Amino acid sequence: MKFYVQHATAAVCNSNDTAGQRISCGRFCRDVEADNATIVESFVSESWTDIGGYVAVDDVREEIVLSIRGSSNYWNWVADFDIPFESCSSLVEGCKVHRGFASAWSELSGPATRAIQAARSAQPNYSLVFAGHSLGGAVASLAAAYFRQNETSVDDYTYGSPRVGNHVFANYATKQSKAFGSQYRVTHNVDIVPRLPLLVLGFRHISPEYWLKGGRPSQNDYPISSMRVCDGIANTRCNEGTWGTSSLEDAGIAHLHYFQPVSCGSSAVPVNVPDEL
Protein backbone atom coordinates (compact mmCIF):
# COMPACT_ATOMS: atom_id res chain seq x y z
CA MET A 1 0.00 0.00 0.00
CA LYS A 2 2.77 2.45 0.86
CA PHE A 3 4.45 1.99 -2.51
CA TYR A 4 1.51 2.79 -4.79
CA VAL A 5 0.65 6.09 -3.13
CA GLN A 6 3.94 7.21 -4.70
CA HIS A 7 2.43 6.54 -8.12
CA ALA A 8 -0.76 8.33 -7.11
CA THR A 9 1.39 11.26 -6.01
CA ALA A 10 3.60 11.18 -9.10
CA ALA A 11 0.54 11.58 -11.34
CA VAL A 12 0.22 15.15 -10.02
CA CYS A 13 3.48 16.21 -11.67
CA ASN A 14 4.02 13.68 -14.47
CA SER A 15 0.77 13.92 -16.45
CA ASN A 16 2.47 16.11 -19.08
CA ASP A 17 5.51 13.87 -19.58
CA THR A 18 6.33 12.27 -22.91
CA ALA A 19 6.79 8.59 -23.72
CA GLY A 20 10.14 7.23 -22.58
CA GLN A 21 10.64 9.70 -19.75
CA ARG A 22 11.37 8.34 -16.31
CA ILE A 23 8.95 9.26 -13.56
CA SER A 24 10.39 11.97 -11.34
CA CYS A 25 9.03 13.71 -8.25
CA GLY A 26 11.96 13.77 -5.83
CA ARG A 27 11.37 12.70 -2.25
CA PHE A 28 7.70 12.04 -2.93
CA CYS A 29 8.31 8.95 -5.10
CA ARG A 30 11.82 7.74 -4.33
CA ASP A 31 10.98 4.05 -4.68
CA VAL A 32 9.28 4.58 -8.04
CA GLU A 33 12.29 6.58 -9.22
CA ALA A 34 14.66 3.87 -7.95
CA ASP A 35 12.83 1.35 -10.15
CA ASN A 36 13.35 3.62 -13.18
CA ALA A 37 9.65 3.43 -13.97
CA THR A 38 9.12 4.81 -17.47
CA ILE A 39 6.18 6.67 -19.01
CA VAL A 40 4.38 4.88 -21.85
CA GLU A 41 1.90 7.70 -22.33
CA SER A 42 0.63 10.59 -20.22
CA PHE A 43 -2.72 12.33 -20.34
CA VAL A 44 -4.09 15.70 -19.30
CA SER A 45 -7.60 16.94 -19.97
CA GLU A 46 -8.35 20.42 -21.23
CA SER A 47 -12.04 20.09 -20.37
CA TRP A 48 -13.91 20.86 -17.16
CA THR A 49 -13.04 17.44 -15.70
CA ASP A 50 -9.39 18.50 -15.23
CA ILE A 51 -8.39 14.82 -15.15
CA GLY A 52 -4.91 13.53 -15.96
CA GLY A 53 -2.43 10.75 -15.36
CA TYR A 54 -0.11 8.29 -17.04
CA VAL A 55 0.57 4.69 -17.97
CA ALA A 56 4.06 3.57 -16.95
CA VAL A 57 6.14 0.40 -16.97
CA ASP A 58 8.15 -0.77 -13.96
CA ASP A 59 10.59 -3.47 -15.10
CA VAL A 60 11.82 -4.12 -11.56
CA ARG A 61 8.37 -5.04 -10.25
CA GLU A 62 7.23 -6.28 -13.66
CA GLU A 63 4.16 -4.07 -13.60
CA ILE A 64 2.18 -1.81 -15.89
CA VAL A 65 0.72 1.05 -13.87
CA LEU A 66 -2.16 3.36 -14.69
CA SER A 67 -2.01 6.30 -12.28
CA ILE A 68 -4.75 8.94 -12.29
CA ARG A 69 -4.37 12.28 -10.55
CA GLY A 70 -7.00 14.21 -8.67
CA SER A 71 -8.59 17.44 -9.76
CA SER A 72 -8.39 21.02 -8.53
CA ASN A 73 -12.16 21.36 -8.92
CA TYR A 74 -13.31 18.08 -7.34
CA TRP A 75 -15.22 19.94 -4.64
CA ASN A 76 -17.64 21.01 -7.35
CA TRP A 77 -18.33 17.31 -7.90
CA VAL A 78 -18.43 15.71 -4.46
CA ALA A 79 -19.79 18.50 -2.28
CA ASP A 80 -22.81 19.34 -4.42
CA PHE A 81 -26.00 18.14 -2.74
CA ASP A 82 -27.68 17.65 -6.13
CA ILE A 83 -25.24 15.14 -7.60
CA PRO A 84 -26.49 13.35 -10.72
CA PHE A 85 -26.07 9.64 -11.28
CA GLU A 86 -25.29 8.18 -14.68
CA SER A 87 -26.17 4.66 -15.75
CA CYS A 88 -23.40 2.06 -15.97
CA SER A 89 -25.74 -0.77 -16.98
CA SER A 90 -23.10 -2.04 -19.41
CA LEU A 91 -21.38 -3.35 -16.27
CA VAL A 92 -24.46 -4.73 -14.51
CA GLU A 93 -28.18 -3.98 -14.54
CA GLY A 94 -29.12 -1.19 -12.15
CA CYS A 95 -25.58 0.17 -11.94
CA LYS A 96 -25.22 3.93 -11.46
CA VAL A 97 -22.14 6.08 -10.89
CA HIS A 98 -21.38 9.75 -10.32
CA ARG A 99 -21.74 11.53 -13.66
CA GLY A 100 -18.53 13.51 -13.21
CA PHE A 101 -16.47 10.38 -12.57
CA ALA A 102 -18.06 8.68 -15.58
CA SER A 103 -17.20 11.70 -17.74
CA ALA A 104 -13.61 11.70 -16.51
CA TRP A 105 -13.11 8.02 -17.32
CA SER A 106 -14.81 8.49 -20.68
CA GLU A 107 -12.16 11.08 -21.53
CA LEU A 108 -9.25 8.92 -20.39
CA SER A 109 -10.48 5.50 -21.43
CA GLY A 110 -9.41 5.69 -25.09
CA PRO A 111 -5.78 6.81 -24.70
CA ALA A 112 -5.30 4.93 -21.42
CA THR A 113 -6.60 1.65 -22.85
CA ARG A 114 -4.45 1.99 -25.97
CA ALA A 115 -1.35 2.68 -23.87
CA ILE A 116 -2.08 -0.30 -21.61
CA GLN A 117 -2.62 -2.57 -24.62
CA ALA A 118 0.68 -1.43 -26.15
CA ALA A 119 2.52 -2.05 -22.89
CA ARG A 120 0.93 -5.48 -22.45
CA SER A 121 1.85 -6.43 -26.01
CA ALA A 122 5.47 -5.64 -25.20
CA GLN A 123 5.35 -7.23 -21.73
CA PRO A 124 2.49 -9.76 -21.70
CA ASN A 125 3.52 -11.28 -18.37
CA TYR A 126 3.57 -8.02 -16.41
CA SER A 127 0.79 -7.47 -13.88
CA LEU A 128 -1.61 -4.54 -14.19
CA VAL A 129 -1.96 -2.00 -11.37
CA PHE A 130 -4.23 1.05 -11.11
CA ALA A 131 -3.65 3.82 -8.56
CA GLY A 132 -5.17 7.16 -7.67
CA HIS A 133 -5.67 9.71 -4.91
CA SER A 134 -8.90 11.58 -4.26
CA LEU A 135 -10.92 11.95 -7.46
CA GLY A 136 -8.15 10.03 -9.21
CA GLY A 137 -8.92 7.09 -6.95
CA ALA A 138 -12.60 7.19 -7.85
CA VAL A 139 -11.82 7.16 -11.56
CA ALA A 140 -9.23 4.40 -11.07
CA SER A 141 -11.85 2.21 -9.39
CA LEU A 142 -14.33 2.83 -12.20
CA ALA A 143 -11.62 2.00 -14.75
CA ALA A 144 -10.78 -1.21 -12.86
CA ALA A 145 -14.44 -2.27 -12.99
CA TYR A 146 -14.50 -1.98 -16.79
CA PHE A 147 -11.20 -3.82 -17.23
CA ARG A 148 -12.24 -6.60 -14.85
CA GLN A 149 -15.50 -6.98 -16.75
CA ASN A 150 -13.34 -8.33 -19.57
CA GLU A 151 -11.73 -10.78 -17.12
CA THR A 152 -8.55 -8.72 -16.93
CA SER A 153 -6.88 -8.93 -13.53
CA VAL A 154 -6.25 -5.48 -11.99
CA ASP A 155 -4.88 -4.58 -8.57
CA ASP A 156 -6.46 -1.26 -7.64
CA TYR A 157 -4.97 1.04 -4.96
CA THR A 158 -6.92 4.14 -4.01
CA TYR A 159 -6.21 6.76 -1.35
CA GLY A 160 -8.87 9.13 -0.06
CA SER A 161 -11.33 8.19 -2.79
CA PRO A 162 -14.87 9.56 -2.66
CA ARG A 163 -17.78 7.19 -3.16
CA VAL A 164 -18.12 6.26 -6.82
CA GLY A 165 -21.61 4.88 -7.35
CA ASN A 166 -24.74 3.27 -5.97
CA HIS A 167 -25.12 -0.01 -4.07
CA VAL A 168 -25.29 -2.01 -7.31
CA PHE A 169 -21.95 -0.66 -8.51
CA ALA A 170 -20.33 -1.04 -5.07
CA ASN A 171 -21.44 -4.66 -4.70
CA TYR A 172 -20.45 -5.51 -8.28
CA ALA A 173 -16.97 -3.97 -7.95
CA THR A 174 -16.46 -5.67 -4.58
CA LYS A 175 -17.27 -9.08 -6.05
CA GLN A 176 -15.09 -8.40 -9.11
CA SER A 177 -12.02 -7.69 -7.00
CA LYS A 178 -12.26 -11.11 -5.39
CA ALA A 179 -12.04 -12.78 -8.81
CA PHE A 180 -9.87 -10.47 -10.91
CA GLY A 181 -7.23 -8.80 -8.75
CA SER A 182 -7.16 -7.05 -5.40
CA GLN A 183 -8.85 -3.88 -4.15
CA TYR A 184 -7.16 -1.64 -1.58
CA ARG A 185 -9.34 1.34 -0.68
CA VAL A 186 -7.29 3.26 1.88
CA THR A 187 -8.67 6.07 4.03
CA HIS A 188 -6.85 8.28 6.54
CA ASN A 189 -7.94 9.49 9.94
CA VAL A 190 -10.61 12.22 9.59
CA ASP A 191 -10.21 12.73 5.82
CA ILE A 192 -13.53 14.16 4.67
CA VAL A 193 -13.41 13.14 1.01
CA PRO A 194 -14.14 9.39 1.54
CA ARG A 195 -17.32 10.46 3.37
CA LEU A 196 -18.61 12.13 0.20
CA PRO A 197 -20.92 12.05 -1.66
CA LEU A 198 -23.15 11.40 1.34
CA LEU A 199 -24.72 8.02 2.09
CA VAL A 200 -28.15 9.65 2.18
CA LEU A 201 -27.77 10.47 -1.52
CA GLY A 202 -27.53 6.77 -2.35
CA PHE A 203 -23.77 6.49 -2.82
CA ARG A 204 -21.87 3.49 -1.49
CA HIS A 205 -18.21 2.43 -1.23
CA ILE A 206 -16.37 -0.59 -2.56
CA SER A 207 -15.54 -2.98 0.30
CA PRO A 208 -13.35 -3.43 2.28
CA GLU A 209 -11.92 -0.19 3.66
CA TYR A 210 -8.39 0.06 5.07
CA TRP A 211 -8.45 2.89 7.59
CA LEU A 212 -5.31 4.57 8.90
CA LYS A 213 -6.75 5.52 12.27
CA GLY A 214 -5.62 7.84 15.03
CA GLY A 215 -2.72 10.23 15.24
CA ARG A 216 -2.51 13.72 13.80
CA PRO A 217 -4.21 14.71 10.54
CA SER A 218 -0.75 15.30 9.04
CA GLN A 219 0.67 12.01 10.31
CA ASN A 220 2.38 9.85 7.69
CA ASP A 221 4.00 7.06 9.69
CA TYR A 222 1.42 4.33 10.21
CA PRO A 223 2.49 0.74 10.84
CA ILE A 224 0.29 -1.76 9.06
CA SER A 225 -0.63 -3.18 12.48
CA SER A 226 -2.47 0.06 13.33
CA MET A 227 -4.71 -0.20 10.28
CA ARG A 228 -8.35 -1.12 10.80
CA VAL A 229 -10.15 -3.12 8.12
CA CYS A 230 -13.90 -2.55 7.81
CA ASP A 231 -16.18 -4.61 5.58
CA GLY A 232 -19.41 -3.41 4.05
CA ILE A 233 -20.42 -0.91 1.37
CA ALA A 234 -22.00 1.43 3.96
CA ASN A 235 -19.94 0.69 7.06
CA THR A 236 -19.72 3.41 9.73
CA ARG A 237 -17.00 1.82 11.85
CA CYS A 238 -14.02 3.40 10.11
CA ASN A 239 -13.63 6.79 8.39
CA GLU A 240 -17.39 7.38 8.06
CA GLY A 241 -17.66 7.33 11.86
CA THR A 242 -15.50 10.44 12.24
CA TRP A 243 -18.24 13.00 11.46
CA GLY A 244 -18.24 15.67 14.17
CA THR A 245 -14.86 14.69 15.62
CA SER A 246 -12.63 17.25 13.92
CA SER A 247 -12.48 20.65 12.29
CA LEU A 248 -12.94 20.98 8.54
CA GLU A 249 -9.36 22.20 8.35
CA ASP A 250 -8.06 18.98 9.92
CA ALA A 251 -10.32 16.94 7.63
CA GLY A 252 -8.71 18.65 4.64
CA ILE A 253 -5.18 18.19 5.99
CA ALA A 254 -5.78 14.47 6.51
CA HIS A 255 -6.80 14.19 2.87
CA LEU A 256 -3.33 15.26 1.72
CA HIS A 257 -1.43 12.74 3.87
CA TYR A 258 -1.34 9.03 2.99
CA PHE A 259 1.88 7.48 4.34
CA GLN A 260 3.48 10.66 2.94
CA PRO A 261 2.39 14.08 1.69
CA VAL A 262 0.42 13.67 -1.54
CA SER A 263 2.37 16.37 -3.31
CA CYS A 264 5.13 16.95 -5.82
CA GLY A 265 6.92 19.88 -4.25
CA SER A 266 4.82 22.95 -4.99
CA SER A 267 2.30 20.88 -6.97
CA ALA A 268 -0.60 19.51 -5.00
CA VAL A 269 -4.34 19.16 -5.31
CA PRO A 270 -5.66 22.01 -3.15
CA VAL A 271 -8.25 21.31 -0.50
CA ASN A 272 -10.65 24.23 -0.19
CA VAL A 273 -13.42 22.82 1.97
CA PRO A 274 -16.79 24.46 1.31
CA ASP A 275 -18.44 26.16 4.28
CA GLU A 276 -21.71 24.24 3.98
CA LEU A 277 -20.16 20.89 4.90
Residue 24 CB-density burial (10 A; 0-12 exposed, 13-18 middle, 19+ buried): middle
List 191, 205, 250, 257, catalytic entry: 191
Per DSSP, the residues of 25-87 read -GGGSHHHHHTT-EEEEEEE--STT--EEEEEEETTTTEEEEEEE--TTTHHHHS-SSPPEEE
- Plot region of 206 (φ>0 → left; ψ -120 to 50 → alpha; else → beta): beta
Q: Is 263 a catalytic residue?
A: no
Radius of gyration of the chain (CA): 17
Say which of 103, 134, 161, 177 is annotated catalytic: 134
Active site residue 134: yes
Q: Which of 98, 205, 255, 257 is catalytic?
A: 255
Q: What residues are annotated to the active site?
A: 134, 191, 255
